Amino acid sequence: MSITYAERIPNNVGLSANKVLQRALEQWQPKFLDWWKAMGPTDFNAADCYLRTATSVDAQGWATYGMLKMPDYRWGIFLADKVPDRKIGFGDFIGQPVWEQVPGEHRSTLRRLIVTQGDTEPASVEQQRLLGHICPSIYDLRSLFQINVEEGRHLWAMVYLLHAYFGRDGREEAEALLERHSGNRDNPRILNTFNEPVEDWLSLFMFTYFTDRDGKYQLKCLAESGFDPLSRTCRFMLTEEAYHMSVGMLGVGRVIKRAVEVMNEIGSDDPEAVRRAGAIDLPTIQRYLNFWCSSSLDLFGSEVSTNAATTFANGIKGRPDEATAYVDHDARTATTTYEAPDGHGGVKREEVPLRNAVNEIVREAYLKDCEVGLRIWNRLIAKAGVKAEMKLPSLRFNRTVGVWAGHRADPAGNLIGEEAWAARRDSWLPSPADRAFVRSQMQRVTEHGKVAAWIAPPERGVDGKPADYDYVRL
């Protein structure tokens, strides 16, 4: 179904045919706009931005570019096209037709998953809301705003599901999505990473590389769902997610490129000298990487989880690319092993039913996917003739969720004592001094064609436009 923009809420779900639902969503819409004005990139609402909007969900229409002010962005409800005769692809109900309505027995589980997913979307906008003031260039400012409006739309995607399929409970959850706030002591966002401050652009690039990639993996799992409206919603969200991760990949690459350029200019790899010369040194970049990667690893939940086993068994949440990446889609009798502390300062491998280990299976797939950027970044470093390498931290490093929570490990995964951790912590994770230094570099640059000193310019622009195009008119 094509997207209609003639209605107050653009959609491709035939909203006007369901007056009750349409009215309920039209009542939520002004609350969303109030939230955007209070908690979004507030001071830029009058700026014209070069943004893409979906005009259809196919390859031709999902990225249609134009100049508009962010509050005029048409947040709407877009589902990927229905797959005819789609069947549940995993778990106990494999081969049965997918559900168009929520089965009563799975109602609270599905609601919990949709609320958790929905909560992350406005959370990320809140985390990033002040970054516009310290943007390194107009090109980067556009990227930020593109991501922000799309995260707003992803919230709409989940709110549609809550309103359309969960009755009064769903409407109440939709309200609560606007009431929790990132980092709020009394009413924080649900998942830890979404309460972490994102106060500089290096954090933004790491967040979009690592945390949005968790989004990719979770959405892939939900795209497998037997609840077809959820699957179709997530499939369309995934098309937008790819851009968010590319902002991270290119952004981190440009920070690294500038660091190695400066190292060559001054003929030194001394971090202090690199900082004095106006770049962010490689060890600091590695510490930011360690932080955001380990925090994002927590987002997959515990290694052994009855929640995960139940959602898999019931056909509610699968593994990423379930049909092509795995052979046994039932996995009722299969087992797998995972690593856990042995209680004596060492590591053991435990055998568990595979269904219980789905979170860990997805986490491992995610970490493997994270290597793509590392290869590109390390090529940049090698090309500059610098002898250094960025590395992903071990699954055991700095974890606060799962079996490694409460255990200390170095980034290579060696288990260490509390004293060794305290002594080395600041060489592995950003210290307050690192954060203060990075923040001190965040001068706002909005002159045409100019880029802040700590980051290399972008190599190409957006939608065939030059990199120094007037993407945002302030």
Task: Give the burial class of 379: count Cβ atoms within 10 A of its Cβ; 0-12 exposed, 13-18 middle, 19 or more buried.
Answer: exposed
Nearer to ligand BYC, 12 or 120 (CB): 120
Q: Where are any strands of DSSP class E within 178-334?
A: none
Cβ of residue 99: shortest distance to ligand BYC, in angstroms? 18
Q: Which of 142, 120, 79, 101 is nearest to 446 (CA)?
A: 142
Cβ of residue 410: shortest distance to ligand BYC, in angstroms? 22
Q: Rounded to an integer, what distance in angstroms lies between the CA atom of residue 41 and that of residue 69?
A: 12
Give the contact letters, 282-321, x = binds to ligand BYC (CB under 6 A), - = no.
----------------xxxxx--x-xx--------x----
Nearer to ligand BYC, 151 or 224 (CB): 151
Question: Number of residues in contact with ligand BYC, rule: CB under 6 A?
Answer: 26
218 binds ligand BYC (CB under 6 A): yes
Contact status, residue 77 vs residue 299, Cβ threshold 8 Å = no
Per-residue DSSP letter, 442:
-
Nearer to ligand BYC, 75 or 437 (CB): 75
Cβ of residue 63: shortest distance to ligand BYC, in angstroms? 19
Q: Classify the phi-psi angles of 393: left when phi > 0, otherwise alpha if psi is within -120 to 50, otherwise beta.
A: beta
Closest CB to ligand BYC belongs to which residue?
301
Residues 10, 89, 152, 215: which binds ligand BYC (CB under 6 A)?
Answer: 215
Q: Which of 416, 397, 421, 292 is nearest to 339 (CA)?
A: 397
Residue type (1 letter), 170: G
Beta bridge partners of 77: 11
Cβ of residue 299: shortest distance to ligand BYC, in angstroms? 5
Give the contact letters, 9-48, x = binds to ligand BYC (CB under 6 A), - = no.
----------------------------------------
191 binds ligand BYC (CB under 6 A): yes
Q: Which of 371, 354, 370 is nearest to 319 (CA)?
A: 354
Cβ of residue 338: shortest distance to ligand BYC, in angstroms? 13
Q: Which of 139, 149, 142, 316 is nearest to 222 (CA)?
A: 316
| Residues at the interface with ligand BYC (CB under 6 A) | 112-113, 116-117, 120-121, 124, 151, 191-192, 211-212, 214-215, 218, 298-302, 305, 307-308, 317, 359, 401
